[in-house]
Structure 1
């Protein structure tokens, strides 16, 4: 029997040469890691980016302004995610026919780079302060230039298309000149003052920090309860001799205490503690006694009972009261009694309900003390040490040293010996700010700094200000700010503590040198111009925020932020190019001087200021001896906040705004905000029309990536192993408005999705082999199935354009993938493969199918190009090889016009549902091996008013019977065509031909 069958098969005709089989050189195995670099070289060779600019010249422009990363180290997954998303958006806008330039940039100044150079010095046991400043800055510049080059190659390898030959760098001379010019705009309009107030300060890096440079870590701190003896209480004489108890987790601030604060409406109790009368908020007596490990008073049931004693209310008892510092016996600064001040911020949430005030080291402390004429004393220097000559612990520290502030450290030891330390422990767990660069603790420290006020109004014009000076001199800065402002500047000269604790007059070695007023700045404009906070909040309302919820975040940050501290005491950055009058304390505002300064910057960059002939810059109208030269540098966030001026406006015209800023969610307090404030202060509006925020890249378990955890996913490694298009697809598929996960399993799923897309393109290329325009069929002659697919393509087109315009590429990628997998591969291609392989080449149905395949190809390769930049290029070049062509020159597809009625789509949606039911009904018989293929099935389906032969082709079965009732399946007894393998009633025996195949072969 076997021999007979073998003989029959051997004698059967071979119809393979009569069947069309798809043919393409496009491989299923992608090999992206090897192919992509060659594609990058080709793009560079043909000048892809510049030619696009030429082709799109005069079109509607879309500008995505690149937020500058630090030129410091290899890129990480957050960089990759950010740059890929930007590139997808830029390419999609270009696809929609717009001129979409992309100018990449880098932040080249600031602490991250300076810190790296200092680390290198420390490794060589060198002191940075002993290196000539110009040499140090040159090393910073060289370091930044090195990493710009490294990161540029890495970003390009991601497939990011941009002006890599001319990126913007904040350290370019023109950029530094523009940054300085933007600062002078604030100065000229009076939106600048120097004041002494607490700012976030890094004792390790010896500079002020911006909020965006700070991160919070859980730590264990020392908590102490300290007694201040009350020496005067006009409203409650019985309090004299009692001790007000304060609680703090920063023991190092006790040596600079200047007052105590109470809650006006808080109830307090005077209790006896081991023979000492102490005052504590009534609601906090029990936790205080627990910290002090005092005996508790209990009733017969061992329940704690509040001790009897005097009950007082803050406002009635403490008004006008005075206490003495625990170290008053040292004299000098410590001998002066400390006043009790009412503080609305005092609560009974924790502590004792009484707060010690150190205006040098807290915002609330500073403002409350300032309102009562108490100024900072600057006892803690830039390294966190008490300055030499300070009566208590002078020359000692550092205040962030855990041993120094511990319960057995010198501060607590001295307080204990003075009888003032009631409780101390080193076990208080809380979140504490750290420098994100050095990872060291920071402190709040009052130092003379330059500020841009949030609530001071804009000043008079320069001419009006000169007139005001002629009429009576300078208007003081403290009058410029509303009473509730966070922006209070010190009035008069900076106070220097008297007595034995007074520092030597050369304190200028620690503080910027100046005489006269410590605070000066905006003059109140009688026209009531809006404040910077007003302008910024208004601009937020006029900006599109994606996602919408991000608007609430930045609004709350701007509503509550303090004045912008723009000065830094570092070497590598753009200097603050101001001259301060040594008599009046005001800074010079002269347009001619400013012009000379900026010209010097353009010629020699920031170094032009540090090594300048300042008399020449001042000109003949001013004597340098009358002016202090400011040598602070600008906050790096001011640098990056100014980029819109020397990137967008400089390249595309004054007043031009970016269409989009796009960065991670942390930039609401960083670049988004600094750019907003800089532009609002100089232009009265935001520098952007829209802002998109994305989340962070986490590991596969949703944890923050960390070298110590060993869970870092390196984008460069992923590219070298799998290719950049896998990363690009991963970015597009994620819901990047929130934090996203990436790991081996996630990338495996992305790889599977990529292979399905690639297989669709491979099928299209193979199926279109030999296709020419002469084969095309007009829409009016197409079968309904082809019209249905064109309708589906049209719906996809609308959805993709809407998703691209909404910057929702998760939605875009999902719609594109679903269409390729479900509408095409699993449905359309599956049904029409028989027609493609076996119909006559000139049959209407086959021509219609290939015509639609051609339409699909041109649409899908364009839709995929923004995401799969390399693969789309490979697909396009496979079909249309060219020395200088590219898929990225193409624009959004023009789809054929279709009949307006949706009847075809509605009816075919019903047919698809029935097809799914048939497939489901056949599956049990396949598992039982009753039938091996759906082609062997006869099915009965509910009446569909369609020819049975058409339904059989759609369902890919042998025969269809239409009757009322459920779907049923049986094995057919038809014979199998020897060419198309369909089982049909007209086939007389297995191996014989059906009518269609017989006609084609004949």
Structure 2
């Protein structure tokens, strides 16, 4: 520009906004949290919903456990829940969210025990109510910590009044729900093997079990055949041969009561022909083995030669009776002088072992089923700490593991005795997946112990229910008829678990929880009709006490007399002191949250339960069983499951590996919105990866979105209603944007309704970056900055306003802080918030598929033009596309006709553009993916407009020096 040429910069409509390029989220987000709390957004939405008569929509919170700081899995879960709740609120529902906490159970009690041990104190020395009060105090402390951590993630909800399973009313309802099982006949006391932690000295539910690699002893043991049942076809020549079993739990051998075989497998009688002299397996020994596994067994037993004597049929095996390996052992005192029958069992395979399975009904699920079927006696050889009962011959007092889960002497003593009596043919070790407690991380055992169960195949009450007679029937029918699963694969997983699960173990041998509020008649047996006291008046007394005092009332001195006196004779009954499985606690939450709270569900049923995939065997599962036992159907209409969090390489996160990602660290570095955006960008139906590089990519996506918002805000700085234009009067480019908004409105609403956050975000992100930033904004910058009060500029700003209201609300459930910041730039004020508005309605007549097709064709041609100009820019022929006026050859006559109706120079951001139907010359630039279009570069003629920078012939011919005709009009306006 010449020195004496005017500077027109101040005459341009340049963007004006205080919205910063740099977000500064870590420092600024806490301020928005304080603001939301101050104006009470959550409660204001509830009040507004009453006036508008909105339909309630309830996501029921699966309670996290109150015993530690949040990990990244917590963040994923709570952010997903928050996006569900916020999006449904903005879809027009009254979307309520009551957060809750699981407060009872072993993890907290274990922490208190650790504190006692550190002070040299035993839990057993502490009065039970004192222990329970310390547990309560511990949980309260962590609830306060976790509440602030959840709120920092931007999660909305009734934080000032959450639900706690240890609240007095909750404890009363949990007891009341248990009493329904007592009264409807599904509660019973039984003795069967359950997963048992010798370290924690309690039974565990399947959901409390995790599997890790563990090295176990392996032994191959001989069970000598001593007789055949007197039936036709019994083969006497099998007497004296040995049935060989293989086991990884040698300590269970003293509890053996049978050997199982599978009638579908092929078995043979084998003889050892060659073996080392010092071998356990001797020449001449005869063994019954699975044909498929015989060679493997002989190799393990160091047998160098053997022969198969003949087939042995299932009918023959079914007649055989063996002796226990310890029969007649010195010092055995006759403990094992009983018959060990061979019994058919479908659970036996020939994948590993010998084809015969040692069966101890007290120490295995399949063993127990087989034992019940054939009337085998149960044993009680293992005590609560994992040691053999003191009076067990030869092994009394031996321990399977110590209080830290380390192996002790039980296995070794059993193996040594088997070797001593000549019952072993081989031994070894194997590394395999083995159940561990998810709390103590110690190995578990199957242990037979008296426990309280809910019978899931027994008729509930009078059996009159539309979903079935039994808990299992009701649960399976609920899954089929009532519940929608996201993803659908969750349905099959939960269904198969319910279909095959055993009765529910309700009891735990601990102190911190809701007790099994029942009494048993002294001297009666569990199978007796009057074994359990079923009395509504007694129940009412207990519930009244729990409502006022909490479950501690059960443990106070004189509690039995308080609850029974005047109704029945207290001396005739024993009080049960086991506590309920915490999964029963959380499974009952539908009753005291959805049913009892004023902000609960009108019908006591949640619209959605949302947790990780592990909760198919956890909260989804226990809630379903519990509700089917008490209300006859599932407590939810929808179940959504998400995957686990992994590091960037797809490895499981572990503190020892140093690959964990702590939510608070991400928030300190990037802000909570970046963490939320990571959730939205991920496919939560599979396992999700997170790490430094992934978060950098998320932050980059965020910056691009932020720039889109900043451009809109800058161009809308002084927009008023007088600037607004009707859609019908707008240029085609603006009407195309409205068409895209109409398309997106459908995508967004349907996506949020189906919890497809990734789909919603991808659609919006692509729209912002591809359709807006790279196309529409790029084209309309010129009109927005340089036009005067033209229809084109008013239309563009109207579109920007419509974009603003949709993008801020559509993205608000995901980027809760940033969209609030964007909203407040235009609508400041103490009562203003994007989270108080709904998604705006989008007129159906904005849809224009014909126009969309036209713009799609234009964009294809434009791609060739911009690519051709980029070559010229790269070769430094031009510095800006405004220096060009290319000739564009288009073969398709129909497309050419369409293009001639449009301002193609504006659309391609050039100072001029000539359209031609002539064939493209050889030197024309082409793109292979856009056939039929060629571009010949030509420089624009004329001078550069000092205001809009276009090169036009009329520059310099107007009253204002150095400007074009369009800028002359703007300056004159």
Fold-level match, TM-score > 0.5? yes
Contact kept in structure 1, 2:452 and 2:505, CA below 8 Å? yes
Query: 1:324–1:31: structure 2 CA closer, same or farther, 3 Å change rule?
Result: closer
Aligned residues: 920
1:606-755 correspondence to structure 2 within 5 Å? 606-611=551-556, 613-651=559-597, 652=600, 655-755=603-703
Superposed CA offset, 1:326-360 (max 9, x none): 25321332122322222232232221222221111
Give the superposition deviation at 1:528: 12
* 1:135 Cα deviation after fit: 1.3
Distance 1:13 1:361, change over 3 A: same
Residue 512 (structure 2) pairs with residue 538 (structure 1): no
* 1:237 alignment counterpart: 236
SS in 1 for 2:821: helix
In the alignment, what sits opposite 1:313?
A: 313
Q: 1:881 to 1:332 in 2, by over 3 A?
A: same
- Other-structure match for 2:445: 443
Q: CA deviation at 1:369?
A: 1.9
Distance in 1 between residues matched to 2:541 and 2:159, nearest whole Å? 32
CA shift in 2, pair 1:823/1:626, >3 Å: same
Task: Please say if residues 227 and 421 of structure 1, whose CA atoms lie closer than 8 Å, have aligned partners that are also in contact.
Answer: yes
Q: Is the 8 A contact 1:325 1:338 kept in 2?
A: no
Match of 1:62, SS state, is strand
Q: How does 1:140-159 map to 2 (within 5 A)?
A: 140-159=135-154
Matched, 1:974 2:935: no
Q: 2:730 aligns with which of 782, 786, 797?
A: 782
C-alpha contact 1:268 1:314 (8 A) present in aligned 2: no
Task: Tell me the C-alpha RMSD between the 2 structures.
Answer: 2.0
Inter-partner Cα distance in structure 2 for 1:174 and 1:50: 23
Which residue of the partner structure matches residue 471 of structure 1?
Answer: none
> Are the structure 2 counterparts of residues 383 and 953 from structure 1 closer, same or farther at C-alpha, using a change threshold of 3 Å?
same
1:252 aligns with 2:259: no
Shift of 1:260: 2.0
Within a 5 Å distance, the mapping from 1:292-331 to structure 2 comes to: 292-297=301-306, 307-329=307-329, 330-331=332-333
Alignment-derived partner of residue 61 in structure 1: 56
Moved more, 120-129 or 665-674: 120-129
Which residue is equivalent to 1:398? Answer: 400
CA distance in 1, matches of 2:967, 2:286: 110
Cα distance in 1, alignment partners of residues 823 and 847 from structure 2: 31
CA contact (8 A) 1:230 1:324 kept: no
CA contact (8 A) 1:975 1:989 kept: no
Kindly indicate whether the alpha-carbon contact (under 8 Å) linking 1:182 and 1:642 is maintained by their aligned counterparts in 2: yes
Q: Which segment is superposed worse, 831-840 or 332-341?
A: 332-341
Aligned to 2:262: 263
- Compared with structure 1, are the counterparts of its residues 339 and 948 closer, same or farther at alpha carbon in structure 2 (3 Å cutoff)? closer
Asked whether 1:413 is paired with 2:406, we answer no
SS at match of 1:152: helix
* Aligned position for 1:929: 876
Answer yes or no: is the 8 Å Cα contact 1:200–1:208 preserved in 2: yes
Deviations 1:588-644 (A, max 9, x none): 111111111111111111111122521221241311111111111000101001111
Query: CA 1:902–1:320 in 2, change beyond 3 Å: closer, same or farther?
Result: closer
Contact 1:386–1:394 (8 Å) recurs in 2: yes
Residue pair 2:905, 2:911 contacting (<8 A) in 1 also: yes
Residue 480 of structure 1: aligned partner: none
Matching residue of 1:339: 341
Q: Is the aligned partner of 1:94 residue 2:101?
A: no
Q: Shift of the alpha carbon at 1:655? A: 3.2
Correspondence for 2:37 among 24, 31, 44? 44
Q: 1:996 aligns with which of 935, 960, 966?
A: 966
- Structure 2 CA distance, aligned partners of 1:527 and 1:987? 84
- Contact (CA 8 Å) 1:948, 1:960: kept in 2 or not? no
Shift of 1:744: 0.7
Distance of aligned partners of 1:370 and 1:895 in 2 relative to their CA distance in 1, 3 Å threshold: closer
Residue in structure 1 matching 2:759, options 794, 801, 811: 811
Aligned partner of 1:827 among 767, 775, 793: 775
- The equivalent position to 1:286 in structure 2, one of 295, 302, 312, is 295
TM-score normalized by the length of structure 1: 0.89
Q: Deviations 1:361-412 (Å, cap 9, x if unpaired)?
A: 01221222223322212110011000111113111112587654698x2211
1:603 pairs with one of 548, 552, 556: 548
TM-score normalised over the length of structure 2: 0.92
1:838 equivalent in structure 2: 786
Q: In 2, are the aligned partners of 1:873 and 1:886 still within 8 Å (CA)?
A: yes
Q: Which runs of 5+ in 2 are unaligned?
A: 273-280, 526-530, 891-895, 921-933
Give SS of 1:882's match. Answer: coil
Give 1:948 shift: 8.0
Match of 1:33 in 2: 26
Q: Residues of 2 paired with 1:195 and 1:813: CA distance?
A: 53
Once the two structures are TM-superposed, the CA of residue 897 in structure 1 deviates from its matched residue by 5.6
C-alpha deviation, 1:283, in angstroms: 2.7
1:916: how far off?
A: 1.4
112 and 835 in structure 1: CA distance in 2 versus 1, 3 angstrom threshold = same
SS of corresponding position for 1:141: helix
Matched residues in 2 for 1:727 and 1:185: separation? 43
Question: How many Å apart are 1:425 and its aligned residue?
Answer: 1.1
Displacement of 1:318 after TM fit? Answer: 4.2
Ranges in structure 1 where 5+ consecutive residues have no aligned partner: 1-7, 298-306, 461-523
Summarize deviations over 1:253-287 as a string: whole Å, max 9, x none.
01111222233344231423414333222332211
